Structure 1
């Protein structure tokens, strides 16, 4: 795909996106990092990429042609002509032949370590009906006859709406071995009778605080689905994966990530599951991490501010270049499909506002303690009432500790009261959204979101442009493995179109006023993702002095229809100047 640069380089310049589409862009260039101003000979670079469409995503959203890299950093971004100064006898020069270069993509909320479950447990993501789920489970059970318990993930709530899938279905497959299968969104657990017995869950067992034991409407017996905190009653008994299994899962995630151009992520699952943190630590010590992780430890709602001291110790010991813990994850509420997202007004289909997982006073004090210790809050919030309470806690922390550059973030934001958007700006809060979900998805919108929320609320889901219009930083993410295919290019497309693939009816555009532009979406997966993770000083844009994290794409995203963006191929991914993915390994210097 790439050839060695041999010809005379064209002399064009860094230009803005609008100027790039016009005739005769102005001639300007970005100064090299050597402090020479470009007027004298400079130290040769290790690598020079030329003849490309380089979208820098810098402050002025400039375009360029060439990038020079020395060691792990970018030393020059600008014209092909000036890039020649960086070419020495040992410099690897790559002619991009007009291919596009972007900063490496940043996924600001992804459960990378949960790839482990796809390797070592029942994978239901490819199933779309109860019959298909049963076939997958039977095949796995047959192949693993000696397992003391069986775990898996990936069943979809629309397949079994209401109280969820039943225990009897699993009992018919295996009534003796405990089976626990997490839903694709991670907020519900489908179990058999053996799993319920293992956890001691009976008709008399009350719902735990922040959780729901779904029950048969006639008998009151547990029906086989557990929501939110009720999941822990079973999961704590069954146990998890080993450190070595998690290491294998994280390494497999890295392989998938670099194929998609992802170079920095936040995994928010530290401490929520045993052995995850230890797996990351061992991989960091063994130099087996190939992308950058800025992870979050999950706070326990049954504890309070006292747990922050433990988090500080974790942060202090985990200061590796590619692995650090800098945030505290808070599960504030659940999800709409489980009727556990916490809403200002009750659900349409049942008399409940949902489930608030944290006691408000405890959350406020824990938030203030985390803020004082220098942690960023990373709050799961789906419902509008939940988001308001989350912002209240951030405001409480600010009053206790004084205003500073905290960048506390709220993740998901399915429903947001417009008045609270203003509060994001006042508090310096960051929104982390999943544009992959910005559509009226078959099975969800008509069968769950509209019946559960009512049409008026359903039409206002997933705001994004409203935040951007107020100057609020919005970072995009996949929430993998909830979103099994986490290619950022797909997310970029969905954030622009907000319509399901192949759908042509304009009435099917989800909340059309919230459609973002291509520059908006690229920024959300690059520089705004870097800002959200406190790494914008080293990555997120292509500028001298920053780490050489970049991705080369087969096509110029600005020159193709938005509906074609997800199909663009990633050709090359670099992290800190190292080639971590190449679509054609046989390429020669």
Structure 2
């Protein structure tokens, strides 16, 4: 028995050696290793390349920010000279740098300059936190905040009277954790001119008292826009501080590229991002989606083309637009084919024909569309528009994306594959979240829809390319390792009850999740030629992790630790334990 085990180990070692040497030979033949010495060598690692063959390697050589060799420890030696920095990984795992394919980076400004309600669990907690903030900042001209959650206020949402007890003389505008609703006080409603006679804007809801018709203090979707301008926006300098704070957090989590999923041309937020680019202070690759307006239809495409030409830069790539097709389940504003369980429903935010014509115009102009689509009716209308664009313009490498995809019809998954639509999923949400599942999703959707929400494996099995995203700050803890674990397990951390697994048939593999946070994210942003996998010629966007994700229990992936992050060969994070 001992002899058999020894032979098996020897055979495994031989196979691994053959794998590495063959891979290394292919790399060596492409470049003369003598002519291009490395600035940095990572060796003695478990390198999962995420290339087309999903090869493993042992070592990487980096020169001028690019990968010049991937292969064996032996094969990397000719790239070393006296100036080369050599990092012995001691078997630790190396992956391509993580890509967050839908994030609201500039919202990080809120964590510094407004009241933070994230993690508070009750109405009383919210009010106490708000009161403390006001007491510490007595000279406010308006109060902004974020992070309250809909399940704390079932039904019509939080009330203005609660805020009036704390703040009467200045406007208060507090954004919900999902950023699809705001909670305001009476002063804010007055300054915005919102009364019982104010009509709901297209695609929005002003929550009202059932008896009097008076606004209650909660505004949803496009109704938020009625009050967002009454308090001065954060300054460009404040946004810059927020963006840099986000970059530090992202580096600690192994993130090297991010899709800023909504940017308004001319806004302080976008000015700040471009200023940091000009100052060469950015350490992430950015892709930006410009905001669209359902009321403007195809007429807005000309100005979007002009903005794209002005904004495109070396670190900030602007080649897509953001489309909100519907809202969210918790706000009752996601568009469903079958009504909510209380019989109400919400319509998509775009008129179908207007969206068709706008989609065709955007597609013709070379934009990728990044569409917020939560409900199945929204997904159907979006795909109809994509099909119309193909009919009008012919097929092209469009890489349009649909994000969130909470409720999806199987037939529409097949349409996504046919149209080469990238699904941008949020694996952090693939759980029966305490508070949300029993208080929102079950009563709003019913058991059948709630238990089958957020498909992933079905998308992959049908040939849809899947990228993953956090939707920060909606997902407050946006570590991709957390996302990988939940995507594989579809359960809360520490859960031991099989009944609390959300749709076990939709569990994806570790390899699927890694691809979704790396090469598929690069594909979605048209950057797969330069990043997303560890291959010769690509930029050295890498993350070193203390554990091999393929060798540990899936329930431990989220506790793995990022030790080193590199973007284009530059260290953006190094843990003190890595020598």
Aligned residue in 1 for 2:78: 85
> How many Å separate the matches in 1 of 2:357 and 2:447?
37
Structure 1 residue 205: Cα displacement? 1.1
1:455 aligns with 2:447: yes
Equivalent residues in 2 for 1:361-440, closer than 5 Å: 361-440=353-432
Equivalent residues in 2 for 1:117-516, closer than 5 Å: 117-271=110-264, 274-349=267-342, 351-516=343-508
Structure 1 residue 28: Cα displacement? 1.3
Q: Secondary structure at the match of 1:557?
A: coil
> How many Å separate the matches in 2 of 1:32 and 1:147?
63
Q: 1:63 aligns with which of 56, 62, 67?
A: 56
- More displaced, 313-322 or 501-510? 313-322
| Superposed CA offset, 1:251-299 (max 9, x none) | 1110100000000000122117831211111111110111100110010
| Superposed CA offset, 1:297-335 (max 9, x none) | 010112121212222222222332211111100011000
Aligned residue in 1 for 2:534: 542
Q: 1:559 aligns with which of 540, 551, 565?
A: 551
Q: Which has the higher helix share?
A: 2
> How many Å separate the matches in 2 of 1:35 and 1:303?
55
Gaps of 5+ in 2: 1-11
- More displaced, 359-368 or 460-469? 359-368
Cα contact 1:31–1:37 (8 A) shared by 2: no
1:140 to 1:363, Cα distance in 2 relative to 1, 3 A: same
> How many Å separate the matches in 2 of 1:333 and 1:391?
14
Q: 1:575 aligns with which of 552, 567, 575?
A: 567
1:181 to 1:542, Cα distance in 2 relative to 1, 3 A: same
> How many Å separate the matches in 2 of 1:334 and 1:501?
28
> How many Å separate the matches in 2 of 1:480 and 1:396?
32
Aligned residue in 2 for 1:111: 104
| Superposed CA offset, 1:434-457 (max 9, x none) | 000000000011111000011111
TM-score using structure 1 length: 0.94
TM-score using structure 2 length: 0.95
Structure 1 residue 204: Cα displacement? 1.2
| Superposed CA offset, 1:484-537 (max 9, x none) | 000000000000000111211111110111100000000000001111111100
Tell me the C-alpha RMSD between the 2 structures: 1.7
1:213 to 1:47, Cα distance in 2 relative to 1, 3 A: same
Q: Secondary structure at the match of 2:202?
A: coil
1:20 to 1:149, Cα distance in 2 relative to 1, 3 A: farther
Structure 1 residue 65: Cα displacement? 0.2
1:264 to 1:481, Cα distance in 2 relative to 1, 3 A: same
Cα contact 2:46–2:92 (8 A) shared by 1: yes
Q: Secondary structure at the match of 1:109?
A: strand
Aligned residue in 1 for 2:6: none
Cα contact 2:563–2:578 (8 A) shared by 1: no
Aligned residue in 2 for 1:16: none
| Superposed CA offset, 1:149-169 (max 9, x none) | 111100001100100001110
Aligned residue in 2 for 1:10: none
| Superposed CA offset, 1:34-81 (max 9, x none) | 75566x734211111000000000001111000000101101100000
Cα contact 1:49–1:93 (8 A) shared by 2: yes
> How many Å separate the matches in 2 of 1:463 and 1:223?
36
> How many Å separate the matches in 1 of 2:124 and 2:454?
32
Aligned residue in 2 for 1:46: 39
> How many Å separate the matches in 1 of 2:471 and 2:266?
17
Aligned residue in 2 for 1:522: 514
Q: Secondary structure at the match of 1:223?
A: strand
Cα contact 2:457–2:506 (8 A) shared by 1: yes
1:565 to 1:429, Cα distance in 2 relative to 1, 3 A: same
Q: 2:523 aligns with which of 505, 528, 531?
A: 531
> How many Å separate the matches in 2 of 1:506 and 1:197?
50
> How many Å separate the matches in 2 of 1:480 and 1:273?
22
Cα contact 2:95–2:542 (8 A) shared by 1: yes
> How many Å separate the matches in 2 of 1:437 and 1:21?
42
Structure 1 residue 465: Cα displacement? 0.4
Q: Secondary structure at the match of 1:108?
A: strand
> How many Å separate the matches in 2 of 1:189 and 1:23?
56
Cα contact 1:42–1:85 (8 A) shared by 2: no
> How many Å separate the matches in 2 of 1:319 and 1:226?
34
1:37 to 1:242, Cα distance in 2 relative to 1, 3 A: closer
Structure 1 residue 558: Cα displacement? 1.0
Cα contact 2:182–2:219 (8 A) shared by 1: yes
Q: Secondary structure at the match of 1:139?
A: helix
Cα contact 2:24–2:75 (8 A) shared by 1: no
Aligned residue in 2 for 1:29: 23
| Superposed CA offset, 1:90-149 (max 9, x none) | 111110011110000000000000001111111110211111101110011111222111
> How many Å separate the matches in 1 of 2:361 and 2:491?
41
1:168 to 1:554, Cα distance in 2 relative to 1, 3 A: same
> How many Å separate the matches in 1 of 2:90 and 2:76?
15
Cα contact 1:32–1:75 (8 A) shared by 2: no
Cα contact 1:44–1:86 (8 A) shared by 2: yes
